[in-house]
Structure 1
Amino acid sequence: MPMERLSTDALASFAVFAAHLNFTRAAEDLHISQPALHTKIRKLADDLGRPLYRRQGRALALTPDGERVARFARELDDRMSTFLSDLNGTSRTRVPVLAAGEGAYLYLLGPAVRRLHAATGVRLVNGDRSRVLTAVRSGAADVGVAVLDVLPADLTATPLATFPQVLSMPAVHPLASRPTLTLADLAGTSLIVPPPHGPHRASLERALRAADVPWTVAVEASGWPLILHLVTLGAGLAVVNGCVPAPPGLVHREITDLPPVPYHTLHHPDRTPDPTVTTLLTTLHAP
């Protein structure tokens, strides 16, 4: 494909779309209509000769080629901004971007985020593990933090923290008198769990099935704060990450035969020498 056919405007628009994975929000950010954005991205995909995104149920996801194109578009925009700053004799400081899930922000990354805001500033991206991986792969985030049981081959993953899985229950519950628990102790319990297909729900169901432990779903709820609130209301018990503090009236007991929860920092290997990435990683891994 002749390079003159590759529109830098379309690349910039695709980078915005890749950050949102939503045509409505991306078009609003770009101050153009949705049909106009659809046209730009369709023409970019046609010029490159490959699909840049796909539909997963009701959501959109970047293809591997789409992630590469989005990363290239952002790198091109950074280089252009740096060139123009140098040309005009002005300094340019890019704010680092960190992507992580709700639990990581609530219970793990608070001190690091405060330090980053005080030092350089930081822009935060919130999403589940899939969105964090996409943000790092596409360049929408410089560094991500996620729970990983399988390390991605295309990203650099560094262990950050590991926590046990614990059973959250009222302090008056019979199991609360034990210092630790096993999966067998959960037999017959009614558990508050995330919706199906999420990684925590899937791994918990797999472990309970392998241990031949009968259990029932009390409530399906999203997010540790809501799940723990429902435990305080007596709706059921819950298996949560050990980094989550127990609210008043609840206690947590480690389930010794469940695997620990490993948090990792993630960045693209091409970005290893980048000072922005180095600053984020140093701050996140600081004691």
Structure 2
Amino acid sequence: MERLSTDALASFAVFAAHLNFTRAAEKLHISQPALHTKIRKLADDLGRPLYLRRGRTLVLTPDGERLARFARELDDRMAAFLAGLDGSARPRVPALAAGEGAYLHLLGPAIRRLHATTGVRLVNGDRTRVLAAVRSGAADVGVAVLDVLPGDLAATPLATFPQVLSMPADHPLAARPSLTLADLAGTELIVPPPHGPHRAFLERTLRAAEIPWTVAVEASGWPLILHLVALGAGLAVVNGCVPAPAGLVHREITDLPAVAYHTVHHPDRSSEPAVTALLAALAAVRA
């Protein structure tokens, strides 16, 4: 192998951003079979798989993440070179990846500041997708709740919040200033669908504490979960950064660990303008 096709690399960068052949092919204005062929040829040239399937989801392999990051960096350099030729060079807009809860309840001031200065491109996804976006170069910086720090990324604490029980203001437990896991015995809880990190944590923790409970409703996203609490469908354990809507109250569960948000980025990109701009804006969140 003497060279890799720059066209195939550019196509792989788009595929890595979507991890969906249909959407990536539409973005590239080519057919799905053509995109499959480009990526299969890249994998054959490199002699290693670039992605794999987990259930219905496609994920990049570590080599795929490295290649996607290289492809994005190459594309950025090419764009900067061509812009410089005609005098239209502009700094690249930094990309931030985070989940729904962080965007809704934590990062608003930082995003407004970025839009007023450098601009910002936003990537939305769960923790797994946030980390994958940073590793593949789809995002310059990610924000995620981490209980285990990734060994290949630079992680910095951003904000910490207690875990709280959300309930109607007239619920008997609302009269207490704080709660323990024992207070949840016999409750019907509104929880995320199975296999998500929050659901898995709750099930593991309540089982270890021998606290009996039942699933009232399975729902995705804090807004819908809190809406269902307000409708009387059950109670919910939520992140303490989420404000209580009118008619609900939140009480800290003191024997649950705090939720710790971190920023993550590649250590070898710490001095890049896109990374430093994002970290500077996010520093206000820590303050």
Q: TM-score, normalised by structure 1?
A: 0.98
CA distance in 1, matches of 2:97, 2:50: 21
Aligned AA for 1:173? H
Q: 1:263 aligns with which of 254, 261, 264?
A: 261
Deviation at 1:84, TM superposition (A): 1.9
Confirm whether residue 11 of structure 1 aligns to residue 9 of structure 2.
Answer: yes
Partner of 1:64: 62
Aligned to 2:239: 241
- Report the Cα distance in structure 2 between the residues aligned to 1:213 and 1:14, rounded to whole angstroms: 48
Query: 1:109: how far off?
Result: 0.3
CA distance in structure 2 between the aligned counterparts of 1:37 and 1:92, rounded to whole angstroms: 30
State the distance in 2 between where 1:273 and 1:123 align: 19
User: Which amino acid in 2 is paired with 1:59?
Assistant: T
Report what 1:91 is aligned to.
89
- Measure, in 2, the Cα distance between the counterparts of 1:232 and 1:179: 20
1:285 aligns with 2:273: no
* Runs of 5+ consecutive residues of structure 1 not aligned to the other structure: none
Deviations 1:163-193 (A, max 9, x none): 0000000111110000000000000000000
User: Corresponding residue for 1:250?
Assistant: 248
- Measure, in 1, the Cα distance between the counterparts of 2:17 and 2:133: 7
CA distance in 1, matches of 2:48, 2:6: 17
1:158-169 equivalences under 5 Å are 158-169=156-167
Q: What CA distance in whole angstroms lies between the structure 1 residues aligned with 2:101 and 2:277?
A: 22
Q: Cα RMSD over matched residues?
A: 0.8
User: Which residue matches 1:36?
Assistant: 34
Deviation, 1:91, is 2.0
Aligned match for 1:118, one of 116, 119, 129: 116
Matches of 2:83 and 2:125, distance apart in 1: 32
**Bigger CA drift: 72-81 or 251-260?**
72-81
1:205-216 equivalence runs, <5 A? 205-216=203-214
Q: 1:90, 1:172 → 2: CA distance?
A: 61
- Map of 2:2 onto structure 1: 2
Secondary structure (helix, strand or coil) at the match of 2:257 reads coil
Q: Which of 218, 235, 256 lines up with 1:220 in the alignment? A: 218
Structure 2 gap ranges (5+): none
Residue equivalent to 1:107 = 105
CA distance in 2, matches of 1:49, 1:199: 34
Match of 1:175 in 2: 173
Q: 1:22-80, CA deviations, whole angstroms, 9 ceiling, x for partnerless residues?
A: 00110011000111000000001000100000001001000000000000000111111
Work out the CA distance in 2 between the residues paired with 1:263 and 1:137: 18
**1:154 aligns to what SS in structure 2?**
coil
TM-score normalized by the length of structure 2: 0.98
Measure the CA separation in 1 of the matches of 2:140 and 2:233.
40
Match of 1:186 in 2: 184
AA matched with 1:123: R
Q: Which amino acid aligns with 2:200?
A: A
User: CA–CA distance in 1 between the matches of 2:134 and 2:162?
Assistant: 26
One-letter code aligned to 1:272: S
The CA distance in 2 between the partners of 1:181 and 1:227, in whole Å, is 20
Separation in structure 1 between the aligned mates of residue 167 and residue 48 of structure 2, nearest angstrom: 51
Q: CA deviation at 1:120?
A: 1.3
Matched, 1:27 2:25: yes
1:88: how far off?
Answer: 2.8
Shift of 1:157: 0.5
Deviates further, 79-88 or 44-53: 79-88
1:248-281: CA deviation from partner (whole Å, max 9, x where unpaired): 1100000000000000011111110101100100
- Structure 2 SS opposite 1:240: strand
Paired residue type of 2:147:
D
CA distance in 1: counterparts of 2:224 and 2:79, whole angstroms: 42
Alignment identity in percent?
84
For 1:260, give the aligned amino acid. A
Paired residues, number:
285
